[in-house]
Amino acid sequence: MSVLPVLLRKEFRQIFRNKSILTISLAAPIMQFIVLPLAANYEFKNIDLAVVDNDRSDLSRQMIDRITGSGYFRLVDHSASYAQAYALIESDEADLILQIPSGFERDLVREGREKVFVAVNAINGLKAGVGGAYLTAIIAGFNRSVVLDLMPTAAPAGIAVTSSGLFNPRWNYQIALIPGILAILVTMIGGMLSALNIVKEKETGTIEQINVTPIRKRDFILAKLIPFWLLANVVFTIGLVVAYLIYGIVPQGSLLLLYGFIGVYLLAVLGFGLLVSTYCTTQQQAVFVIFFFLMIFILMGGLFTPLDSMPDWARTATRFNPLTHMIEVMRLVILKASTFRDILPNLLAVAAMAVVLNVWAVLNYRKTS
C-alpha cells in the first residue's frame, strides 16, 4: 500500500494543474443546479387557446372568463368559425380549440345539460394531454357551479373530498425535481471524468511508463478512482448547500445515511467510467460511449418519466440502472426521512454494481499491449 499514496499524490497534482477539470467539476454543476430547476417546470402554463363562441351568451362568456382566469390558458383568438381556429392550430399559434355551440345557455338552463367541443393539437403529446385535462377540469367545475346556481336544491351535497400532499403539502414541483437533478449532476461528473482519466494517459503516452513499473493494477485503478470520488462528494455537498440557500430544501432524513449511500453509489459510477476508459483508446471514443449510457440512465431514471408508466421490460431494466436507485434514495431520505431499512434494497443493488464494475475494470486493464 506504500505505492498508493504516491499515485494519489500524482493524480491530485494533475487535477489541480488542469484548471478546466476544476471548472467543469465545480463551477458548471453549480450553475446547472441553479438554472435547471428554475427553467424545468412540470406545470404547463400559457397554453394557447382559440375559442369559437357560437352562442355569445352570458354563460358562455362566464365559462371563457373562468378558463382564462385560471392562469393555465392564454386566449389567442376569438375565432368566428371552426375553420379559422383550425388554421391557428395548423400555423402553431394555438394549442387547443374550444367550440361552444349556439343555444348553449338555453339548452343548459332548460335541459340541465349541453355539450362543448374541444380539439387538441396532439403533436406534443404531453402538453396535449395535460392541457386537455386542465380544460376538462375547469369546464367540469364551471358546470357544477352553474347547476348549483340554477337548481340549488336539485343536486345532493354528495361526498366532499379534500386532499393533502404528503411530504410536499404545497405540491411544489421543485421539491421533487431538485434531488433528482442533483443525482444526475453527480452521476455526470463522476462518470464523465473517470471515463476520460485512463484514456488521457493513453493519448499522452504516460500509460506506457506506468505499465513498465511494478505498480499493481489494483493500486492503479484505486488511484484513478479515489480523487474523483472525493471530488464528486464535494460537488454533492455544494449541491445540498445550494438547495438549502436558494430553494429552502432541507434533508428530512439522516445526512450520514445519505452520504453513506452516496459513497457506495459513486464507487459504482466511477467504476463504470473506469471500465469504459479501459476499453477506449481516445478521449473522443470515451465521451461518445459514456454519453450514450448517461442518456439511457437519465431517460430511464424515473425523474422525467414515472417508472410505473413504463412497460414491464423497461421497469425490469431500470433495476440495473444505478441512477434509478440514486434518485429514489435521494427522494426517500431528503423528502420522506426514510431509514436505513427503507433504502437497503437500493443500497444492496448499487453495492453489487460497484463490486462487479470495479472488479471488471481491474481485470480488463492490461499492463501489456
Q: Which grid coordinates are listed for 209? A: 511508463
Q: What are phi and psi of 51, to 5 degrees?
A: -115, 130
Please state the rounded mean pLDDT for residues 337-364. 92
Instruction: Provide the pLDDT for residue 47.
Output: 86
Q: Is the pLDDT at 324 greater than 90, yes or no?
A: yes
Pick the closest to residue 180 from 325, 41, 327 (CA basis).
327
Report the candidate in 182, 305, 164 with the shortest Cα–Cα distance to residue 236. Answer: 182
Q: Are 122 and 128 in contact (CB under 8 A)?
A: yes
Residue 24 DSSP one-character state = I
Q: How many CA atoms lie within 13 A of 36 on its CB side?
A: 19
CB burial of 324-361 (b: ≥16 within 10 Å; e: otherwise) equals bbbbbbbbbbbbeebeeebbeebbebbeebbeebbeeb
Question: For residue 361, what pLDDT is reported?
Answer: 87
Give the pLDDT band (50/70/90) at residue 208: confident
Percent of the chain beyond pLDDT 70? Answer: 90
Give the H or E element holding residue 279: helix 255-279
Confidence of residue 192 (pLDDT cuts 50, 70, 90): confident
Q: Which fold has domain 47-150?
A: abc type-2 transporter like fold (3.40.1710)
Pick from 359, 343, 192, 337: which is nearest to 273 by CA? 192
Work out the percent of the chain whose per-residue pLDDT is above 90: 21
Q: Residue 152 has what pLDDT? A: 57
Looking at every residue in the chain, the average pLDDT score rounds to: 83
For the residues 23-46, what does the mean pLDDT come to?
A: 75
Supply the pLDDT for residue 51.
Answer: 93
**Model pLDDT for residues 140-183, shown as the tens digit of each residue:** 888 877 766 665 555 554 555 556 666 776 667 777 788 888 89
Q: How far apart are CA 239 and CA 177, in angstroms?
A: 13
- Global confidence as pTM: 0.77
Are 101 and 54 in contact by the 8 Å Cβ rule? The answer is yes
Grid coordinates belonging to 276: 469504459
3-state class of 99 per DSSP?
A: strand
The C-alpha atoms of residue 44 and residue 110 are separated, in whole angstroms, by 36
Tell me how far CA of residue 235 lies from CA of 29, 32, 238, 242, 325, in angstroms: 7, 12, 5, 10, 19
* Higher local confidence (pLDDT), 85 or 151: 85
Phi, psi of 286 (to 5 degrees): -65, -40
Over range 262-270, report the average pLDDT: 94
Q: How many CA atoms lie within 13 A of 247 on its CB side?
A: 23
Q: Compute CA distances 30 → 23, 36, 234, 241, 304, whole Å.
A: 10, 10, 11, 10, 21
pLDDT mean over 186-197: 85
Most distant CA atoms of the chain, gap in Å = 94
Buried b (16+ CB within 10 A) or exposed e, 200-213: bbbeeeebeeebee
Mention every residue, 6+ apart, whose C-beta is less than 8 A from residue 336. Answer: 167, 252, 253, 342
pLDDT value for 346: 94
For 219-244, b/e burial (b = at least 16 CB within 10 A) is bbbbbbbbbbbebbbebbebbbebbe
Q: Side by side, which strands form the sheet with 96-100?
A: 73-79, 47-53, 96-100, 117-120
pLDDT number for residue 41: 64
- Residue ranges per structural domain of the chain: 3-40+170-364, 47-150
Query: Where is average pLDDT lowest: 4-18, 21-35, 147-161, 183-197?
Result: 147-161
